[in-house]
């Protein structure tokens, strides 16, 4: 899945390391010569001493002297092998890494954050030559870990542990991101876990949106609550929650119309749904093929009603995986599932370790 | 809108360039790097960005000399237009029936776009039909049927799992139409079965145009997807959708470059009229904050009657107008599309930094204003200056709004009046000339 990103990344990492090492290449030569000189001096001295027919006592005395000398050499070595990389040099060094991340669809804003992390650990900090690659890798890993640093999210458990019934989930996102398909996949999964569900046809705007979710409801044999086209989705959601309460149904899954996050009026409508339906969980549906706009989308939806969890769709269409990093960076909310197909069962658990390993290993 | 980040950062880097003491390679390099960053942020493919900027750099080093530093803007403009295909590339309807097949990944907006084009072409006198071949997605047929109904064109739909069979069933009937718009299943370009299906459709139907529909927000995946679709169906044109959001459309530009196909239309919203012929020069002008007068005029021609347009123009220039005019003006503007898109197209306005939120709020307000105006007397409508506190209270209770909202309307009226006065006496042809000069510089 992340094969492509992985390959590219490791290549760029190597370039980065090389550049960093080159930076220190020259002084390294100097040290070698210096060290050689010192050693030569030392051995000459030793020879001289030996010629003088030294006693055992003397030899013992020489031991600490020798140690002193080595540590002194090391000190010099450290001074020269450690090199301070200034900001300008760093910018130049990071450029290749930056391009790879960009090529793999990580949003520029997120790359900046990764860059800042690396900068803090590398710029103007004395670094030993042989530690550079280690530090670069460690920092990048830590950066990614930070970006995906959300609590493990087990949806089924969460619903089962919830005392109050029903557990209400609202799905939202921009047009064509795959809300209805994903909602149906989640309903299918919950039903298999023995949870009773009701679907809500909350997209009363798009042509045939109601028929689409109705098709799914029939296929999965799950009750659907719907209204007319043009009806207030908040009111339909309210009715559905009341229905679920009355019939002791475990989960309400509400679809909403796709909307552009820049459209204030439609975002207000979403806020109203949030106020009226009072969902336990607000799931943002994003696409893994989205580029830099992923950051704007996630940010705006989060600001409008607050994202509790994320499902990224169309994962089968893109092996690059950068959107995963972008979206979770912006919201710091868990990615619950990845959607990867058109069938009811095409839902994959998200595994943070797996993602990081795949990118860096 | 599209690549708008580019225009802001371009302005900034131009300023930087103007300030730099020496116009040397270093200064130009820095400028080029800014353009690179903006393009990358707009999701243009990395490799393409480098090809494009190396051309810009090469020309800049040769052509930009002391004293004509602004020329770099012209170079950027020309190279971007070149990159986008230079000429407007409209679909030429050359035979009957002219079959246009739409392909793309799921959720890119194929069916919606078909509805828009059905309306677009039937408004221009063509006899249009739609054909539903998306046999996979639930309710896809129903969506096409409803979209076609709204566009007032005939749709050919038959529930079956075999798209070729459906096509054969209607083949004869379709011959009676000028244009047939063919919907296909959304597909992952990398899935084998669907690629086979589309290749087969391509062979059987022999469409005259094969349009790849791409969302503006698609990222670096655009390259592989476009390549995949191109291989299976031989893409001849591209339509970018969802340009009404914050996405920049760079991925779709990549698609155009990869397939060698031109961008034909851009989609700017959910309603059927939210579509525009793609014009590279206008697109780039708009992007660089120079306005796109051509697109505005075209919109005006199809959406607004001549009398209405003349009327509006006269009133705008007279600098005298009242509530009735304000309302009419708002209605006309509404027909043209979202306010922010209109303003972007007006030369000179593109460079004003008007917050996007303002336009959205405005649109919500228009409906309330309508109610308030309905609660006003004729006298009040014609001479809003007579509206005092008492009258405000009456209007607000009559229209179910708050007094603050009525006051807000009055404020808006006064502001608009002031703006109109400022425009008074300005000759529109002069404005145009100014704009043209800017372009040719």
What CATH number has the domain bearing residue B390?
A: 1.10.260.30
Same domain, B17 and B106: no
Q: Per the domain annotation, does B303 fall within a domain?
A: yes
- Asked if the Cβ–Cβ distance from A99 to B242 is below 8 Å, we say no
> CB of B146 within 8 Å of any CB in chain A?
yes
CA B230 to chain centre: 24
The residue of chain A with its CA nearest to that of B185 is: A342
Domain of residue B44 covers 4-83
Taking only residues 91 to 110 of chain B, the set having a beta carbon closer than 8 angstroms to any beta carbon of chain A reads 105-109
Number of domain units in chain B: 3
Which domain-ending residue is among B35, B50, B83? B83
Distance from C-alpha of B40 to C-alpha of B220, rounded to nearest angstrom: 9
- Asked if the Cβ–Cβ distance from B224 to A318 is below 8 Å, we say yes
Distance from C-alpha of B142 to C-alpha of A179, rounded to nearest angstrom: 18
> CB of B271 within 8 Å of any CB in chain A?
no
Band of residue B431 on the pLDDT scale cut at 50, 70, 90:
very low
Same domain, B182 and B220: yes
Same domain, B282 and B325: no
> CB of B358 within 8 Å of any CB in chain A?
no
Query: Is residue B215 pLDDT above 90, yes or no?
Result: yes
Q: Please tell me the predicted confidence (pLDDT) of residue B72.
A: 77
Q: Please tell me the predicted confidence (pLDDT) of residue A31.
A: 46
> CB of B257 within 8 Å of any CB in chain A?
no
Q: Please tell me the predicted confidence (pLDDT) of residue A209.
A: 95
> CB of A88 within 8 Å of any CB in chain B?
no
Q: Please tell me the predicted confidence (pLDDT) of residue B435.
A: 42
- Under 8 Å CB pairs connecting chains A and B tally to 157
| Percent of chain B predicted with pLDDT > 70 | 71
Q: Which residue has the higher pLDDT, B353 or B337?
A: B337
| Percent of chain B predicted with pLDDT > 90 | 31
Taking only residues 260 to 289 of chain A, the set having a beta carbon closer than 8 angstroms to any beta carbon of chain B reads 260-265, 268, 287-289
Same domain, B427 and B299: yes
Q: Per the domain annotation, does B92 fall within a domain?
A: no
Same domain, B285 and B308: no
A203, A231 in Cβ contact below 8 A? no
Q: Per the domain annotation, does B136 fall within a domain?
A: yes
Taking only residues 111 to 140 of chain B, the set having a beta carbon closer than 8 angstroms to any beta carbon of chain A reads 111-112, 115, 136-140
Q: Per the domain annotation, does B250 fall within a domain?
A: yes
Phi then psi dihedrals of residue B262, to 5 deg: -85, 155
Residues of A in contact with B190 (CB under 8 A): 316-317
pLDDT tens-digit map of A143-189 = 878 778 777 789 999 999 998 889 999 999 999 999 999 999 999 99
Determine which of A161-170, A194-203, B87-96, B142-151 has the lowest per-residue pLDDT on average: B87-96
Q: How far is B164 from chain A (nearest CA, A)?
A: 21
Which of these, B51, B15, B68, B1, lies nearest to B248 by C-alpha position? B1
Non-local CB neighbours of A28 within 8 Å, separated by 6+ positions? A80, A81, A129
Which domain-ending residue is among B49, B83, B117? B83
Determine which of A272-286, A331-345, B107-121, B122-136 has the lowest per-residue pLDDT on average: A331-345
Q: Please tell me the predicted confidence (pLDDT) of residue B421.
A: 60
Q: How far is B295 from chain A (nearest CA, A)?
A: 22
- Asked if the Cβ–Cβ distance from A261 to B245 is below 8 Å, we say yes
Q: How far is A27 from chain B (nearest CA, A)?
A: 28
Same domain, B34 and B133: no
Same domain, B42 and B161: no
- Asked if the Cβ–Cβ distance from B106 to A292 is below 8 Å, we say no
- Asked if the Cβ–Cβ distance from B139 to A212 is below 8 Å, we say yes
Inter-helix orientation angle A56-81/A3-51, to 10°? 150
Same domain, B243 and B327: no
On average, the pLDDT of chain B sits at: 79
Sign of CA dihedral B297, B300, B301, B303: positive
Sign of CA dihedral A291, A295, A297, A298: positive
- Asked if the Cβ–Cβ distance from B107 to A205 is below 8 Å, we say no
CA A21 to chain centre: 28
Q: Please tell me the predicted confidence (pLDDT) of residue B90.
A: 83
* Residue in B37, B105, B138 closest to A314 by CB: B105
Q: Per the domain annotation, does B89 fall within a domain?
A: no
Which of these, B294, B308, B298, lies nearest to B124 by C-alpha position? B298
> CB of B220 within 8 Å of any CB in chain A?
yes
- What mean pLDDT do residues B125-153 have? 94
- Asked if the Cβ–Cβ distance from A174 to B189 is below 8 Å, we say no
* Residue in B112, B221, B363 closest to A289 by CB: B221
Query: In residues, how long is chain B?
Result: 441
- Asked if the Cβ–Cβ distance from B242 to A178 is below 8 Å, we say no
Same domain, B232 and B133: yes
Question: Could you tell me the domains of chain A?
Answer: 3-147 (no CATH), 155-351 (3.40.50.300)
Phi then psi dihedrals of residue A260, to 5 deg: -80, 130
- Asked if the Cβ–Cβ distance from B225 to A208 is below 8 Å, we say no
Secondary element (H or E) of residue A338: strand A335-339
Non-local CB neighbours of B413 within 8 Å, separated by 6+ positions? B323, B326, B384
Same domain, B151 and B258: yes
Q: Which of B5, B135, B138 to mutate to test the interface with A (most CBs of A within 10 A)?
A: B138
The residue of chain A with its CA nearest to that of B46 is: A103
* Residue in B37, B147, B217 closest to A207 by CB: B147
pLDDT tens-digit map of B316-334 = 555 455 666 666 666 665 6
Distance from C-alpha of B388 to C-alpha of B382, rounded to nearest angstrom: 14
Q: Which of B43, B53, B220 to mutate to test the interface with A (most CBs of A within 10 A)?
A: B220
CATH code for the domain in which residue B156 is found: 3.40.50.300
Q: Please tell me the predicted confidence (pLDDT) of residue B339.
A: 55
Angle at the Cα of A247 from the Cα atoms of A245 and A249, rounded to 5 degrees:
70
Residues of B in contact with A176 (CB under 8 A): 106-109, 215, 242
pLDDT tens-digit map of A245-261 = 999 999 999 999 999 98
- Asked if the Cβ–Cβ distance from A212 to B137 is below 8 Å, we say yes
Q: Please tell me the predicted confidence (pLDDT) of residue A64.
A: 47
Non-local CB neighbours of A243 within 8 Å, separated by 6+ positions? A198, A225, A249
A148, A330 in Cβ contact below 8 A? no
- Asked if the Cβ–Cβ distance from A215 to B251 is below 8 Å, we say no
Same domain, B164 and B306: no
Taking only residues 141 to 200 of chain A, the set having a beta carbon closer than 8 angstroms to any beta carbon of chain B reads 174-178, 181
**Pairing assessment for the beta strands B128-133 and B179-184 based on DSSP bridges:** parallel
Q: Please tell me the predicted confidence (pLDDT) of residue A62.
A: 45
Secondary element (H or E) of residue B25: helix B25-41
pLDDT tens-digit map of B53-86 = 999 999 988 888 776 766 777 788 788 888 877 7
Q: Please tell me the predicted confidence (pLDDT) of residue B341.
A: 58
Query: Is residue B375 pLDDT above 50, yes or no?
Result: yes
Where are any strands of DSSP class E within B34-175?
98-103, 128-133, 154-156
Residues of A in contact with B42 (CB under 8 A): 292
> CB of B224 within 8 Å of any CB in chain A?
yes
Query: Is residue B50 pLDDT above 80, yes or no?
Result: yes
Distance from C-alpha of A27 to C-alpha of A184, rounded to nearest angstrom: 63
Q: What is the pTM for the complete model shown?
A: 0.73
Query: Is residue A93 pLDDT above 80, yes or no?
Result: no
Query: Is residue B348 pLDDT above 70, yes or no?
Result: no
Determine which of A7-11, A102-106, A193-197, B237-241 has the lowest per-residue pLDDT on average: A7-11
* Residue in B115, B215, B361 closest to A264 by CB: B361
Which of these, B304, B279, B308, lies nearest to B294 by C-alpha position? B279
Which of these, B374, B361, B371, lies nearest to B400 by C-alpha position? B371
Which of these, B229, B249, B43, lies nearest to A105 by C-alpha position? B43
* Residue in B140, B221, B363 closest to A265 by CB: B363
Maximum distance among all Cα pairs of chain A, rounded to whole angstroms: 109
Determine which of A29-43, A240-254, B210-224, B273-287 has the lowest per-residue pLDDT on average: A29-43
Q: Please tell me the predicted confidence (pLDDT) of residue B304.
A: 57
Distance from C-alpha of B265 to C-alpha of B251, rounded to nearest angstrom: 15
Distance from C-alpha of B172 to C-alpha of B160, rounded to nearest angstrom: 18
Q: Please tell me the predicted confidence (pLDDT) of residue A60.
A: 45
Q: Please tell me the predicted confidence (pLDDT) of residue A306.
A: 94
Query: Is residue A328 pLDDT above 80, yes or no?
Result: yes
B159, B280 in Cβ contact below 8 A? no
Distance from C-alpha of B398 to C-alpha of B410, rounded to nearest angstrom: 16
B239, B264 in Cβ contact below 8 A? yes
> CB of B356 within 8 Å of any CB in chain A?
yes
Q: Which residue has the higher pLDDT, B397 or A193?
A: A193
Distance from C-alpha of A55 to C-alpha of A62, rounded to nearest angstrom: 11
Residues of B in contact with A289 (CB under 8 A): 105, 218-219, 221-222, 225
> CB of A105 within 8 Å of any CB in chain B?
yes
Distance from C-alpha of A216 to C-alpha of A219, rounded to nearest angstrom: 5
Q: Please tell me the predicted confidence (pLDDT) of residue A248.
A: 95
Q: Per the domain annotation, does B433 fall within a domain?
A: yes
Residues of B in contact with A260 (CB under 8 A): 242, 244-246
**DSSP letter string, B237-282:** EEEEE-TTSS---HHHHHHHHHH-PEEEEEE-SSSTT-EEE--HHH
pLDDT tens-digit map of A288-309 = 899 989 999 999 999 999 999 9
- Asked if the Cβ–Cβ distance from A211 to B220 is below 8 Å, we say no
Q: Please tell me the predicted confidence (pLDDT) of residue B8.
A: 63
Same domain, B284 and B323: no
**Pairing assessment for the beta strands B154-156 and B128-133 based on DSSP bridges:** parallel
pLDDT tens-digit map of B416-426 = 666 656 555 45
Q: Please tell me the predicted confidence (pLDDT) of residue B104.
A: 92
Determine which of A11-20, A165-174, B1-10, B158-167 has the lowest per-residue pLDDT on average: B1-10
Which domain-ending residue is among B261, B289, B317? B289
Q: Please tell me the predicted confidence (pLDDT) of residue B144.
A: 96
Band of residue B98 on the pLDDT scale cut at 50, 70, 90:
very high
CATH code for the domain in which residue B63 is found: 1.20.120.140
Determine which of A22-31, A294-303, B218-227, B389-398 has the lowest per-residue pLDDT on average: A22-31
Distance from C-alpha of B252 to C-alpha of B396, rounded to nearest angstrom: 48
Distance from C-alpha of B289 to C-alpha of B283, rounded to nearest angstrom: 10
Q: Per the domain annotation, does B19 fall within a domain?
A: yes
Q: Please tell me the predicted confidence (pLDDT) of residue A51.
A: 47
Q: How far is A83 from chain B (nearest CA, A)?
A: 27
Q: Per the domain annotation, does B91 fall within a domain?
A: no
Give the strand order in the sheet containing B275-277. B154-156, B128-133, B179-184, B98-103, B209-215, B237-241, B262-267, B275-277
- Asked if the Cβ–Cβ distance from B245 to A293 is below 8 Å, we say yes
């Amino acid at each position: 899945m992340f094969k492509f990103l992985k390959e590219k990344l490791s290549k760029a990492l190597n370039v980065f390391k090389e550049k960093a090492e080159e930076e220190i290449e020259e002084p390294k030569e100097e040290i070698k010569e210096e060290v050689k000189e010192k050693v030569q001096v030392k051995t000459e001295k030793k020879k001289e001493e030996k010629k003088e027919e030294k006693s055992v006592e003397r030899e013992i005395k020489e031991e600490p002297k020798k140690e002193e000398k080595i540590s002194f050499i090391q000190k010099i070595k450290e001074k020269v092998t450690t090199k301070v990389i200034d900001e300008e040099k760093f910018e130049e060094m990071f450029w290749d890494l930056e391009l790879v991340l960009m090529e793999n669809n990580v949003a520029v804003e997120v790359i900046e954050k990764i860059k800042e992390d690396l900068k803090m650990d590398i710029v103007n900090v004395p670094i030993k030559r042989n530690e550079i690659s280690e530090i670069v890798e460690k920092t990048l890993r830590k950066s990614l870990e930070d970006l995906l640093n959300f609590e493990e999210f087990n949806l089924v458990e969460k619903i089962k542990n919830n005392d109050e019934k029903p557990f209400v989930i609202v799905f939202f996102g921009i047009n064509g991101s795959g809300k209805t398909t994903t909602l149906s996949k989640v309903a299918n999964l919950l039903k298999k876990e023995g949870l009773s569900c009701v679907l809500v046809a909350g997209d009363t705007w798009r042509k045939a949106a109601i028929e689409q979710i109705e098709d799914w409801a029939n296929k999965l044999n799950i009750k659907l609550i719907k209204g007319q086209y043009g009806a207030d989705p908040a009111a339909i959601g309210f009715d559905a929650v009341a229905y679920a309460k009355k019939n002791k149904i475990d989960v309400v899954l509400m679809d909403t119309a796709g909307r552009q996050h820049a459209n204030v009026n439609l975002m207000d409508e979403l806020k109203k749904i949030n106020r009226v339906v009072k969902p336990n969980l607000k799931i943002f549906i994003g696409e893994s093929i989205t580029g830099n706009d992923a950051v704007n989308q996630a940010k705006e939806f989060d600001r409008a009603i607050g994202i509790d969890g994320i499902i990224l769709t169309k994962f089968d269409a893109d092996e690059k995986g950068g959107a995963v990093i972008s979206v979770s960076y912006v919201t710091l909310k868990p990615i619950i599932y990845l959607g990867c197909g058109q069938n009811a069962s095409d839902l994959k658990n998200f595994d943070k370790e797996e993602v990081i390993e795949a990118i860096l290993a | 809108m599209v690549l708008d980040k580019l225009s802001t950062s371009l302005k900034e880097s131009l300023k930087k360039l103007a300030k730099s003491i020496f116009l040397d390679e270093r200064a130009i390099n820095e400028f080029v790097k800014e353009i690179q960053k903006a393009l990358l942020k707009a999701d243009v493919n990395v490799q393409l960005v480098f090809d494009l900027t190396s051309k810009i750099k090469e020309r800049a080093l040769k052509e930009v000399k002391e004293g004509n530093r602004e020329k770099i803007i012209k170079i950027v403009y020309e190279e971007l237009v070149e990159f986008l295909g230079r000429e407007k590339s409209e679909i030429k309807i050359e035979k009957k029936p002219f079959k246009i097949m739409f392909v793309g990944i799921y959720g890119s907006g194929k069916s919606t776009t078909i509805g828009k084009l059905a309306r677009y072409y039937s408004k221009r006198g063509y006899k249009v039909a739609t054909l539903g071949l998306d046999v996979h997605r639930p309710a896809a047929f129903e969506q096409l049927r409803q979209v076609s109904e709204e566009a007032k064109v005939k749709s050919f739909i038959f529930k079956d799992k075999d798209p070729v069979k459906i096509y054969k069933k209607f083949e004869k009937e379709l011959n009676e139409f000028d244009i047939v718009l063919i919907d296909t299943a959304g597909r992952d370009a990398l899935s084998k079965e669907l690629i086979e299906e589309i290749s087969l459709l391509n062979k059987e139907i022999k469409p005259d145009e094969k349009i790849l529909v791409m969302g503006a927000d698609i990222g670096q995946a655009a390259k592989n997807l476009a390549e995949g679709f191109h291989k299976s169906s031989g893409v001849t044109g591209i339509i970018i959708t969802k340009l009404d959001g914050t996405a920049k459309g760079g991925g779709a530009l990549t698609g155009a470059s990869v397939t060698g196909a031109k961008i034909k239309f851009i989609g700017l919203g959910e309603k059927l009229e939210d579509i525009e012929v793609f014009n590279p020069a206008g697109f780039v002008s708009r992007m660089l904050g120079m306005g796109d007068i051509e697109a505005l005029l075209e919109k005006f021609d199809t959406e607004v009657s001549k009398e209405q347009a003349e009327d509006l123009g006269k009133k705008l220039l007279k600098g005298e107008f009242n509530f009735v005019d304000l309302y009419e003006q708002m209605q006309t503007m509404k027909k043209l599309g979202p306010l922010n898109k209109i303003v972007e197209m007006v030369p000179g306005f593109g460079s004003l930094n008007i917050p996007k939120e303002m336009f959205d709020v405005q649109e919500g307000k228009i409906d309330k204003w309508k109610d308030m105006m309905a609660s006003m007397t004729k006298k009040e409508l014609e001479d809003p200056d007579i509206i005092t506190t008492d009258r405000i209270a009456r209007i607000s209770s009559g229209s179910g709004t708050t007094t603050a909202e009525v006051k807000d309307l009055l404020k808006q009226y006064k502001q608009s009046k002031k703006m109109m006065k400022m425009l008074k006496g300005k000759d529109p042809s002069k404005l145009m000339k100014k704009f043209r000069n800017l372009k040719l510089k």
